[in-house]
Structure 1
């Protein structure tokens, strides 16, 4: 009955509410007896947010979020609710309005920065996050969170800056397992394999159950040819995550590098059957077939992959190698020419050198001496000279009647071969005799 009476009282006209018994006064000051409607609605919305009722919060806050609204908290709460509901555009607009009303709100800037990062708006994300780091009096945990977010953003484009970002974060908060993992990724991105291996070892000690850390640690160990240690890491991770496809694929990749194709092929076939759309697994399977001496199985896989990613230089190189193995060099040469014409797309100088070498062999099979020399010119500054490539150079110069260059290359080949290539050595000796009589 009391509740009903209160409801009825507040539903009466204003004049009626003032008609109280003589001598009666309110125990609450008049201005506090009833909070403003907007404040009451805001309180209800925040209660809805606290209880995970984000759609209800949006319904309550939207009428308050007008141009005349000067309370930044209304817009921040609305942005938070929309953000949680994955309404990115609406959330960004609300956060931005909150910041326009209260520019020193580090929480709003961080929320907007993180939202922009998820939306792929990296410059906008970095602008908001760096602005947050300059707000005086910002809470330490907010600053640590901001610098960590910046480290994640800078990781791919500027790993050195990412390292500085992470160091800044650690000034405000102790290291976490995620920090250790990020530090390892940064070291790997900077190309410091020794530091990356050490950092991954530390991260793995803190997070032995993390799949991503185990993958990174195993990858670095494999790169250092510490195959047994890499296998131990993957075995430990698989024991905690049985059947994890990423771990199984990494182990198969490691086995391929060790020449254990018989162990890798059935695992990759099973993974490919489960995930036919996984390009990384499909590519590993093609490599496994090629390494196992079954280029006829690898070729259709590479053809399908190239249709989906026609400008992938790694795919072009590996597909061309398979074609060469199938004695289809005329098809391989244009693929390799297209690949080496985009040197900046190769993951490393070694990969570019390998593609150029493949092109030299394909062009030689096609009796394209000019392309042989062009390919070798690309390879020369990237990889050490070796007898097979020296012989290709000698034969190309010989075909083009570059007498002096051919003779020099044949002599260099003979000094490098050491009896390992008897047929080519005999040919080089015969050609040197002929060339010596050429004036």
Structure 2
């Protein structure tokens, strides 16, 4: 069950008919009415209407009921449920919070609130799910309680693997293990740094599902990720190829397959796989970034430029993309434009040494030597010097007639170059010969 779809979760976990038939009175009710009266009373009618998806009728009944019983936790939960089911999470949250204030031990509202908060990335989601697993559903329902434990495990699987593992254990104490549970266990193990255990568990998922279904696809992608991490490309590629033969449009599988092909040096196949994936997910920034990088590595700079520019329309404040586009523009010898994008990158992210280095190079190509020195000064605070930066320092000082500094940096360049930059080394030696005569 996904944290992303509370609307689908709640009708399965909290059927109103079950409450009406099994719970004489809602939690928090203070009336002394006998059970038989409550079963035919206002909340039974409300929950019958909810079961029939007659939400307007249920809301009207609740409005009347809550005007007389404003602190009835069960009624407040039902009211939140209606808004939740109709796609109004903000007001649902308010009613769930009111229900919890009326009865802090109400499982249903804690769980429902936790699901909504998790969907929005609210850190309070964990607190609500932890409160839910400490309470019990009314009427008792072990399967629902197990789902609360599972949601806590899912929520914490990357941020707190130990808690996630324990939560999953608690869920499995009261309900049977499913392939989704095994997959979750593998993800928790991977997040906790147990790559060997994670790989073994991913393989259990594949065995249990015989390679079919969404859990199998996720397990294949997870296992492939671990194999790529260990540079076992020869194992990862056939695994992914087999999975893609069953599910050719799965985004995670295609992404992993392209990464494996690229790592194996199969650039053309990697590009073809990414182009297919980009058509399936035209607004996926990760996929577009991988495709642009693949184009750049294959020296197809015109296509790389187009994809990087598209990425910036999706996220105009992405310093990494600005810098990558600057690098491509340098390859295309579009130095003034490259300089603009490197400068944009440093305004967004001031601590990027590569972007400062890009500014230095592009400024050198456009004969803006003071800017070269300024950019190199910033870069030197963030990263060690390289032969390339020594050469930029030297040529900038040389063109500004800073003879002493030029000589110093040409010498540093020659000591670090070690024959790897023959053209620049020849130039440095020629300039040193002239400068040292002065």
TM-score (norm: length of structure 1): 0.73
Q: Secondary structure at the match of 2:420?
A: coil
Q: Measure the CA separation in 1 of the matches of 2:408 and 2:122.
A: 55
Cα–Cα, structure 1 residues 254 and 320, in superposed 2: closer, same or farther, change >3 Å?
farther
User: Based on CA coordinates, which of the two structures has the bigger radius of gyration?
Assistant: 1
Retained in 2: the 8 A contact 1:181–1:200? yes
The answer to whether the aligner puts 1:421 opposite 2:421 as a matched pair is yes
Q: Number of residue pairs matched?
A: 387
The answer to whether the aligner puts 1:183 opposite 2:182 as a matched pair is no
Following superposition, the deviation at residue 230 of structure 1 comes to 3.1
Cα–Cα, structure 1 residues 384 and 274, in superposed 2: closer, same or farther, change >3 Å?
same
RMSD across aligned C-alpha pairs, in angstroms? 3.8
Retained in 2: the 8 A contact 1:42–1:60? no
Q: Secondary structure at the match of 1:67?
A: helix
Cα–Cα, structure 1 residues 147 and 369, in superposed 2: closer, same or farther, change >3 Å?
farther
Q: How does 1:239-318 map to 2 (within 5 A)?
A: 239-318=245-324
Cα–Cα, structure 1 residues 226 and 82, in superposed 2: closer, same or farther, change >3 Å?
same
The answer to whether the aligner puts 1:207 opposite 2:205 as a matched pair is yes
Q: Which has the higher contact order (CA 8 A, sep 6+)?
A: 2
Cα–Cα, structure 1 residues 320 and 203, in superposed 2: closer, same or farther, change >3 Å?
farther
Cα offsets for 1:69-117 (capped at 9, x unmatched): 2543233344335434434244334323322321222332122222233
Q: Measure the CA separation in 1 of the matches of 2:52 and 2:239.
A: 43
Q: Measure the CA separation in 1 of the matches of 2:419 and 2:101.
A: 78
Cα offsets for 1:271-294 (capped at 9, x unmatched): 444444444433333333322222
Q: How does 1:10-409 map to 2 (within 5 A)?
A: 35-36=36-37, 39-43=40-44, 45-46=46-47, 52-55=51-54, 58=58, 62-63=62-63, 65-69=65-69, 71-118=72-119, 120=120, 122-132=122-132, 149=151, 152-153=154-155, 159=159, 162-170=160-168, 172-174=170-172, 176-184=181-189, 186-187=191-192, 195=193, 197-198=195-196, 200-208=198-206, 209-343=215-349, 352-380=352-380, 385-409=385-409
Q: Secondary structure at the match of 2:419?
A: coil
Q: Measure the CA separation in 1 of the matches of 2:235 and 2:372.
A: 41
Following superposition, the deviation at residue 214 of structure 1 comes to 3.3
Retained in 1: the 8 A contact 2:262–2:270? yes
Q: Measure the CA separation in 2 of the matches of 1:75 and 1:130.
A: 21
Cα–Cα, structure 1 residues 259 and 353, in superposed 2: closer, same or farther, change >3 Å?
farther
TM-score (norm: length of structure 2): 0.73
Cα–Cα, structure 1 residues 396 and 147, in superposed 2: closer, same or farther, change >3 Å?
farther
Deviates more, 1:249-258 or 1:59-68: 59-68
| Unaligned stretches of 5+ residues in structure 2 | 1-32, 207-214
| Unaligned stretches of 5+ residues in structure 1 | 1-30, 188-194, 347-351
